[in-house]
C-alpha cells in the first residue's frame, strides 16, 4: 500500500470494476447490508419534530416511545403504517440509485463527492425505514429492483445532461420527497412516535439536500418534467404501499 498517496487519489477504476462496484451497491441496498454502521435511529432518541411539522400536539418523544407501540395495537393500523413505511423505504432505495446514477455521470468530481456525502445520509434513512418495517412485522417492497434500476437510469441521464441540470433534478426530487413526507406525517397515527421521529429526521435532511442543490446552481426543471417525476413517484407509492 502506498501511504504517501492522498486518500482519494486512487487509480481510475476499469469499466468492469465500476460495474462490480455498482452491482455491489445495488445488492447492499436491496438486502440492507451496508458497509458502514448507520447513525443512531431517531426512533430511539428524540429529535425536534416541531421544527418541521409545526405540530405542537405531538406526544413527548421520550414518554411516547417508551410505552406500547400503538401501530401494533390493531391489524388494520399495523398494515397501514407498514404500507406507509414500505413506501418510504422504497423511496430510499430509489434515492440510493438516483444518487449513484448521478455521481456516475457527474461532470465535476467535486459534485460527485458531495453527492456521495448526501448519499450517506440516505443510507441511514434506508436503514431506519427498514428497521421500522421489521418492528411492524412487515417487509420492503417486492419491487425493489425495479425502483433501483429505474432510479439509477434516471439519475445517470440527469448527470449526462450536465451538473446544473442534475442539481436541478436533485432539488426537485428532494422538494417532492419533502412534500410527500409531510403527507405521511399527517397520515400516521397520532401516537406512532417511532415512525414520526424517523420521518421527521428524514424530512429535515431531505430539505437540506434540496437547499444544497439549489445553492450550488441547480436549474429549475420545466413543468412537464416535474409532472412526469410526480407521476412516476405516484406509481411507486401506489405499488409499494401494497406490496
Binding site residues, Fe ion, CB under 5 A = 95, 122, 125, 206, 209
Task: Give min distance, CB of 172 to Fe ion, in A.
Answer: 12
Task: Give min distance, CB of 68 to Fe ion, in A.
Answer: 28
Q: Measured between alpha carbons, how far is 44 from 49 in angstroms, rounded to an integer?
A: 14
Q: How is residue 52 written as a grid cell?
A: 418541521
Separation in Å, CA 4 to CA 7, 9, 168, 209: 9, 10, 38, 34
Task: Give min distance, CB of 174 to Fe ion, in A.
Answer: 5
Q: Which residues contact 193 (CB under 8 A, 6 or more apart)?
A: 43, 58, 59, 61, 64, 65
∠ CA 120-124-130, nearest 5°, is: 140
Task: Give min distance, CB of 96 to Fe ion, in A.
Answer: 9
Task: Give min distance, CB of 179 to Fe ion, in A.
Answer: 13
- 41 or 77, CB closer to Fe ion? 41
Task: Give min distance, CB of 202 to Fe ion, in A.
Answer: 5
Q: Measured between alpha carbons, how far is 6 from 16 in angstroms, rounded to an integer?
A: 24
Cβ(200)–Cβ(53) below 8 Å: yes
- 209 or 237, CB closer to Fe ion? 209
- 16 or 35, CB closer to Fe ion? 35
- 82 or 98, CB closer to Fe ion? 98
Cβ(119)–Cβ(99) below 8 Å: yes
- 60 or 179, CB closer to Fe ion? 179
* DSSP for 9-77, written as a single string: -PPPPPHHHHHHHHHHHHHHHHHT--SSPPPPPGGGS---THHHH--TTSPPHHHHHHS--GGGSSHHH
- 144 or 191, CB closer to Fe ion? 144
Amino acid at each position: 500500500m502506498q501511504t504517501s498517496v492522498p486518500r482519494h487519489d486512487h487509480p481510475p477504476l476499469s469499466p468492469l470494476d465500476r460495474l462490480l462496484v455498482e452491482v455491489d451497491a445495488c445488492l447492499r441496498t436491496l438486502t440492507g447490508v451496508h458497509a458502514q454502521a448507520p447513525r443512531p435511529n431517531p426512533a430511539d432518541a428524540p429529535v425536534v419534530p416541531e421544527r418541521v411539522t409545526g405540530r405542537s400536539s405531538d406526544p413527548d418523544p421520550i414518554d411516547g416511545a417508551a410505552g406500547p407501540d400503538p401501530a401494533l395495537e390493531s391489524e388494520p393500523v399495523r398494515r397501514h403504517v407498514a404500507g406507509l413505511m414500505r413506501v418510504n423505504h422504497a423511496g430510499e432505495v430509489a434515492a440510493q440509485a438516483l444518487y449513484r446514477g448521478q455521481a456516475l455521470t457527474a461532470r465535476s468530481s467535486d459534485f460527485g463527492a458531495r453527492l456521495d456525502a448526501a448519499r450517506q445520509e440516505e443510507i441511514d434513512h434506508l436503514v431506519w425505514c427498514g428497521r421500522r418495517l421489521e418492528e411492524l412485522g412487515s417487509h420492503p417492497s417486492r419491487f425493489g429492483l425495479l425502483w433501483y434500476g429505474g432510479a439509477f437510469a434516471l439519475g445517470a441521464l440527469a448527470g449526462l445532461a450536465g451538473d446544473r441540470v442534475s442539481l436541478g433534478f436533485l432539488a426537485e426530487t428532494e422538494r417532492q420527497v419533502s412534500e410527500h413526507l409531510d403527507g405521511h406525517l399527517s397520515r400516521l397515527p397520532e401516537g406512532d412516535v417511532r415512525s414520526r421521529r424517523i420521518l421527521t429526521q428524514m424530512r429535515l435532511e431531505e430539505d437540506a439536500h434540496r437547499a444544497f442543490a439549489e445553492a450550488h446552481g441547480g436549474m429549475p426543471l420545466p413543468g412537464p418534467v416535474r409532472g412526469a417525476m410526480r407521476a412516476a413517484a405516484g406509481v411507486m407509492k401506489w405499488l409499494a404501499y401494497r406490496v
